[in-house]
Chains A and B, each alone.
Chain A
Amino acid sequence: MPYNDDTRFVPRDREWHPPAYAPGYKTSVARSPRQALVSLVAPTRSELAGPDFTRLRLGPHDNDLLLNFREDPALGGAAGLPIGERILLFGRVVDQFGKPVPQTLVEMWQANAGGRYRHQKDRYLAPLDPNFGGVGRCLTDADGWYRFRTIKPGPYPWPNDVNSWRPAHIHVSVMGPSISTRLITQMYFEGDPLIPLCPIVNTLRDPEAVATMTGRLDMARSRSMDCLAYRFDLVVRGAVQTYFENQG
């Protein structure tokens, strides 16, 4: 959606989103502001506009994590497939009024089947997969749909409590029509018993908010003898047109 001087976005419900300070998630303790946020009651063009990525040239496998990484380029197409549970991850980006958000950039990243990230800082003893990078991106189509093909990530331990494990998750990033709708979240997998134990999940106070981050198994979109499918819809802030502003 192009920027329009009359656009306003539905205010963020910051009781619904996680608070900055959530001491169960220890890193938030020193990384959360102590001062109140300053509210811009009349957001400006700076906040209402945002980047349109339709001219970003995407590669043919940017949304296919089964094919978009080869550790040794010399192996070329002869390299193998990643090990793990083959899944489709798909969904629709809509705004709070249910209106599809077309042509918006959806990015994702994740660990491999064993919970190991291909990142220089990750030293977890589970091995890397030579055929798995763990990064994808795509634009939503004209109706707001996006899709990735990947493997289901594994849980992994992290130093929070003495025995904390992240549930399997995929980081999902969406721009939407404006920097006001910019959102990064994590998708969890339906039924994972680690979800209610996780200090990062539990930064949210409302179980319904956790439900918005849960990908649902969708057998209808699964492919027989090939891959399962999970559906994860994203809801970004609703855009409303303002009327009668400055007409006192």
Chain B
Amino acid sequence: MKLTRREFLRRGGALAGMWTGLSQLGEPVLAFLRTRGARWPWYRPDEVRITYNYCDMCMWRCGMLVYTVNGRVVKVEGNPKDPKSRGRLCGRGQAAVAHLYDPDRLRKPLIRTGERGTWSFREATWEEALDRAAEALTRLRDQYGPESVAWFAHTTGDFWFGDYLPLAFGSPNVGKPATGLCLTPREVAAQLTFGRGVGGHEPVDWENTRYIVLIGNHIGENAHNTVMQDFARALAQGAKLVVVDPRYSTAAMKAHRWLPIKPGTDTALLLAWMNVLITEGLYDREYIEKYTVGFERLAEHIRPFTPEWAAPITEIPAEVIREVAREMAAHRPQVVIPPGRHVVWYGNDTQRMRALFILNVLLGNVGRRGGLYLPRAPALDPYPHPPFPVEVAAGGCGAAAVGIRIPDTPGHPPRADGVGSKFATGPVVIQELIEPMITGQPYPIRGLVVYGVNLFHSIPNVPRTIEALKRLEFVLAIDVLPQEHLAWADIVLPEATFLERYDELWVASHRIPYIALREPAVEPLPDTRPGWWIARELGLRLGLADYFQWSSIEEYLNTRLMSVGLSLDRLREAGGVFTWPGKPYLEDYGEGETPFPTPSGKIEIYSEALARAGFDPLPVYEPVEEPPPGYFRLLYGRHPLHTFGKTQNNPWLAEVYPENEVWVNDEAAAALGLKNGDLVLLENQDGVRSGPVRVRATPRIRKDAVYLVHGFGHRGSRLSRAEGRGASDNLLITRYRLDPISGGAGMRVNFVRLIQEV
């Protein structure tokens, strides 16, 4: 206790006083080191500097302190002032140092000299590369219109390449993998039900909850720092936990009940729980009356969905279903079924997410302590700029603050992703922008700017993506590492890492609304440039000077900060983070003020909007296709030390987890003559084969599914540590089921068989 408090004071108040002992380095040790061959000392004493940052090793964006000595980053720590990190970083965050100093980093702008699909480039100056890129983009714009260029973006710089430059350029075709490949069904379901999105930081009131039900939400493997912290605290305070997952996940090991549900049947379980809550009168009557519409219709609708109905479907005993429902009710409103993040599973995911939200509502927990709080974003003005020619929502990880029902701007090109025809509503979905590159429908996309998105690891149906790439007239890629899709780019621009650059402020929608600063800790590697600089240089060359009236990023940031009475200096003085009071609970809203901006001003259990659009206004369960004999359903997830397909090359992370394994039920493996550690190939229903991957035979998964950690199996990259290691789930996801409501790409509809390597 004493230690902790002392440490807290030290960190809070006296950061600058640390590491002052450098000059005491004695001569004997120097002499000793010299004899051992070390060139020493390489730093000038007393040059330790701390800069503020927010972590970009995943999109959770934990506040970070970066320690540099003589222009070298030596370590990172969590920023104790930051509401997300609270002084701690996950393993990936710690390894940011190794990301910065990854020897494989791109170091020069590259211009294609040979065939697309091969690594044939020559090095170029920034001037030349930018001029050429701008020329190509200008030509496409002049010839086919700005909508003929699609922009794909991920990681923090996606502000520049997903939200700012493309809109100034005039293209509505801006895709972020965080939408159609991750969050879209959840955001659309929340929008329909509550009139507001969920947002990047799931608003679970962990600290007050007594009972948690996770639906396939693998906290602990999904290592979002704050979630792990809060989840562990809730459990330590005695909260009960139920985990519904075909796989015994890290979260499941903390559960008092693990329900090994049959994959694809979660909605049936959710409906049965509603059935018990309503038929047994266990729901929150008062809450329902005060805050919701459409309950009567739900009560009618769920009548047939008894636990006995759900039991054979889900393979969870009716008694267990009933008991869990009663336990939930006994703890309400301090009970929560968190929405999870990656929810694009089966193509009917908006319905499942609606069911999940409505279950929370029946328990009366939305806007209540121990349930789902109501997040809020700080109100910060954008840097003043002329209106964009198109208005479109790219969505993204932190998109809750933005309304997502975005109509096409009249008089401007419509989105090419098929909103309104292939699916009903929501932000642009990235995977549906591939088709127009091939078919030219609804109109051709001829150019692509891809920033920080690995085209072959995030977007399903890789053969289709390759076909699209072949047809594109121009591809510009901006990245830090030589990922495989760069081999298809015409021009490659090497970006500086997040530790080497300023960036847009992180404006967090949160219980405590806050903003966080990212400032460079060290100079960028020679010939790499920050994203904002690249965007600005491109913008100027594209004739968009009106949108880049600032000449330095400091000026840009200071102008934005001015709108809330801050400046870069004041943000630094405040410790890199500035917070505002939130309005997390219903009682924070006055009479006549609703936190639910739906048409009815209430939580819409029955959705008129869905009914009008021809969809089921109340959640329904649809069975999903079963794996054929000899095949397993392919499930995938996260490893706590890796983020998607972008960290496999990180020296520190690769050292601990260099390759994924395929989890197979131990009995199923034995029946196939496989044992732990055997090498197998995975072949999917379309005959696509992965590289060799080791078997992890384990009782921690059902017999009808196999599981891979996502992001491995890099092929054709120039990533020396990641190349050829493990199997790529995305390669095996050759098909997906489009969610007709939100446009999410349901990806757990692929089947694989195991072929023993001989």
Query: Do chains A and B stick together as partners?
Result: no
Residues in A lying within 8 Å of B, measured CB to CB: none
